Amino acid sequence: MISNIVLGVSLVILLCVVSEKFSYKIGIPALIFFMFIGMLAGSDGVLKIKYENFSQAEMICSIGLIFIMFDGGFNTNWKHAKPYVVKSISLSTIGVVLTAGISLLCFHYLLQLSWQESFLLSAVLASTDAASVFAILKSNNLDLKEGTSSILEVESGSNDPVAYLLTITAIGIMTSGQPGNIFLTVFVQMAVGLGMGFLFAYASKYILSQKNVLTDGLDVIFIVAVTLLCYALSDKLGGNAYLSVYLMGLYLGNSRMNSKRAIVAFFNELTSLLQILIFFVIGLLSFPSSMPATMPLAFAVVAILTFISRPLMTMILLLPQKCSWKQCLLISWAGLRGASSIVFAIVAVSSGVNLSFDLFHVVFLVSLFSIAIQGALLPTISKKLDMVEKEANIYRTFNDYEESIDFQFAKVHINEENSWVGKRIKDIDIPFGSQVIMIKRDGRSIAARGKSVVEAGDDLIMNIPPYYPAKKENVLEVRINKGHKWANQTLEQINFPTNQLVIMIIRNDDKIIPNGDTMVLENDVLLIFKGE
């Protein structure tokens, strides 16, 4: 019996992995294939596996969503996202509420659903799905102009907590018949969620930064355990647990950790496996034979979300923030629904709410259309709107970009007094592990070979091994405001501690590599390396 289960699980995972590669070639998101594999294995499929346990499916998908939410925060590069954080957070908070409100009115007046049913359906579908958005952007290496990639990344990664809050509020109204104290519920959810998220983030970072606390190699296991603990305690205290784990991931992902490369790699693989599991379970739980009856309602819901709710919300929030029409249209189209909406629908069905329609299959079809049509057309529409940043790399907006590079480039200028002048590359005493790969000479780029001779005035482009700072080493940023005690002094005149060195001065748009005679001026920004 156990061997049969293991055999089935392994075959499903292998089939999903192979289908992901195939999906990229034909331009259909891999998540769709995971759903279809589940449908093929289900009661209406080839294997005829009868699976109708919504409570069990809720538990499986909710646990998966915990780590997907954590990874969404952990992989967000705050440095790239920070300039657009106001736009992103407005979309993931006010935008979710606006989307739900507009949809609620449309569902009630246009589709003739009751107020309670309209509220629940609009809440479940109010957020965009992080896994779907990340998968589309990364698989197409699609970087977008005007910071749109970062806006979508932060929005889709952080809007599930608000949608979940609306969903459980709607469920509470439908199951108890009383709205209760909604404002108190919202306050407790947000306050506890934020508090627990920051508490666990700081505590985890402190423990990870201490020597001889964790055994080497157990950092990843520690973070997995703390993520689950953060979710559980936040939920027990009435907080928004998804918000807690997202904030914890965001803080840790943008903190300096010795084993960060291994942690990033682990969570990338873990979330990929969990996405396969969630979409397979969703497909397994579905009944294709029940879908024709729900298609008219599902397509009407899709039309309202795609052409009314999302565009209106985007324009209302982003046009006053000086976003272009093209950017608003693209962000509107990129509002993909996916696993999170279906998981919230499963939560609602498990709670025992009575509805006049099949909530699970309606949301299933809406998400299927969103991923298959909107997701597949996202690259084309981005190009049509001239919003593709051709020279950029989408991976720069994620924290795993820098961690995947095992080398870096440096430029060394050769003046007339340099001892390398007149020598061949192979005769130069280059630091171990480094390599001269290019010579910049008189505006030309020359491939450096062992017999190439170095001349005065050359710029040597070198490939050098990276250095990962120790726990107590970092770079400080000091702005020289008016009246600062260092203003109008040379670096040699300033009494810096022995473990500090000014490595760069940013002056207006110039980046200056200083020496002892360099004068510090007002409005300069000094980057100071601080050793142990």
Position 308 scores a pLDDT of 95
- Edge-first strand listing for the sheet containing 525-530: 474-479, 525-530, 500-507, 510-512
| CA gap 115, 98 in Å, rounded | 16
pLDDT for 403 equals 43
Q: Which residues are 445's β-sheet partners?
A: 440
SS3 410: strand
| Distance in angstroms between the alpha carbons of the first and the last residue of the chain | 58
Cα separation, 377 vs 330, in Å, equals: 11
What residues have CB less than 8 Å from 125, skipping those under 6 apart?
103, 301, 305, 337, 341, 363, 366
As a whole number of angstroms, the distance between CA 67 and CA 410 comes to: 37
Partners of 507 in the beta sheet?
510
pLDDT at 402: 47
pLDDT at position 405? 47
Structure tokens at 417: 């007094």
In whole angstroms, give the CA distance from residue 215 to residue 186. Answer: 40
Q: Which single residue is written with the structure tokens 């980057």?
A: 527
Residue type at 357? F
CA distance 136 to 148: 14
d(CA 81, CA 158): 12
Report CA torsion sign: 286, 291, 296, 299: positive
pLDDT tens over the chain, length 532 residues: 667 667 766 776 777 666 666 655 555 566 677 788 888 877 777 777 787 888 888 888 888 889 888 888 888 777 777 788 899 889 989 999 999 999 999 999 999 999 999 999 999 999 887 667 766 766 666 777 888 888 887 888 788 888 988 998 899 888 876 655 667 777 888 889 899 999 999 998 888 877 666 766 678 888 999 999 999 999 999 888 888 999 999 888 888 776 676 777 788 888 878 888 888 888 888 888 888 899 999 999 999 999 999 999 999 999 999 889 999 999 999 888 888 898 899 999 988 888 999 999 999 999 888 888 888 788 888 888 888 876 555 555 555 544 444 557 778 888 888 888 898 888 887 776 678 888 888 888 888 888 889 998 898 888 777 655 555 566 777 888 888 889 898 988 888 888 888 888 888 877 787 888 889 998 888 888 877 6
- pLDDT for the residue numbered 369: 87
**In terms of Cα–Cα distance, which of 431, 419, 418, 428 is closest to 451?**
428
Report the candidate in 246, 113, 123 with the shortest Cα–Cα distance to residue 182: 123
Three state DSSP letters for 282-304: HHHHCCHHHHHHHHHHHHHHHHH
Instruction: State the burial class of residue 390 (Cβ atoms within 10 Å of its Cβ: 0-12, 13-18, 19+).
Output: exposed
Contact 76, 250 (CB under 8 A): yes
Q: What is the pLDDT of residue 234?
A: 93
Q: Are 309 and 107 in contact (CB under 8 A)?
A: no
Under 8 Å between Cβ of 104 and 173: no
Q: Structural domains in the chain? A: 2-401 (1.20.1530.20), 407-464 (3.30.70.1450), 474-530 (3.30.70.1450)
On the 0-12 / 13-18 / 19+ scale of CB atoms within 10 A, 487 is middle
How far apart (Å, rounded) are the C-alpha atoms in residues 481 and 484? 5
Angle separating helix axes 148-158 and 54-74, nearest 10 degrees: 140
Q: How far is Cα 41 from Cα 288, in angstroms, rounded to an integer?
A: 12
In eight-state DSSP terms, residue 454 is P
Distance (Å, whole) CA 405 – CA 122 = 43
Q: Which residue has the tokens 């201490």?
A: 210
Q: What's the one-letter identity of residue 305?
A: L
**Cβ(65)–Cβ(281) below 8 Å:** no
∠ CA 341-347-348, rounded to 5°: 90
Cα–Cα separations (whole angstroms), residue 517 to 2, 6, 484, 490, 520: 74, 69, 19, 5, 9
How would you label 288-318 residue by residue, b for 16+ Cβ within 10 Å and e otherwise? eeebeebeebbebbbebbbebbbbbbbbebb
pTM: 0.69
Q: Specify whether the CB–CB gap between 363 and 353 falls below 8 A.
A: no
